[in-house]
Amino acid sequence: MGRLIALPSKKRGRGNPNWGTPPRPIPALPTEFEMQVKRLGLARAEYVASAPLKGWCKLNRNRRYIPEWLLEEWRMKVDETFSGVA
């Protein structure tokens, strides 16, 4: 006599059930530069004249995002080969 094989009672769900639905938007988080500007309470017109912001940018220009126009205004160069390892 042969063995009886138990078949599953439900059809197995396969594939991605969310296929075809639009992806959820990724929330935009502020950059470190934007948080620093907010902490200092600066308006965009005050960026260039701010000594504390310039000091922060000088220390973090190779590690954090800083707008290119601001770096050009202060004549700061970004080290392209900076690895971030001390």
Residue 1 lies in a domain: no
Query: In this structure, are residues 33 and 42 in contact, taking their beta carbons and an 8 Å threshold?
Result: no
For the segment 18-69, what is each residue's pLDDT rounded down to a tens digit? 889 998 999 999 999 999 999 999 999 999 999 999 999 999 999 999 999 9
> Average pLDDT for residues 71-78, to the nearest whole number?
94
pLDDT at 1: 62
d(CA 40, CA 32): 12
Residue 54 lies in a domain: yes
Query: In this structure, are residues 78 and 62 in contact, taking their beta carbons and an 8 Å threshold?
Result: yes
Residue 8 lies in a domain: no
pLDDT reading at 10 higher than 80: no
Domain span at residue 52 reads 32-74
Residue 83 lies in a domain: no
pLDDT reading at 86 higher than 60: no
Residue 12 lies in a domain: no
pLDDT at 79: 87
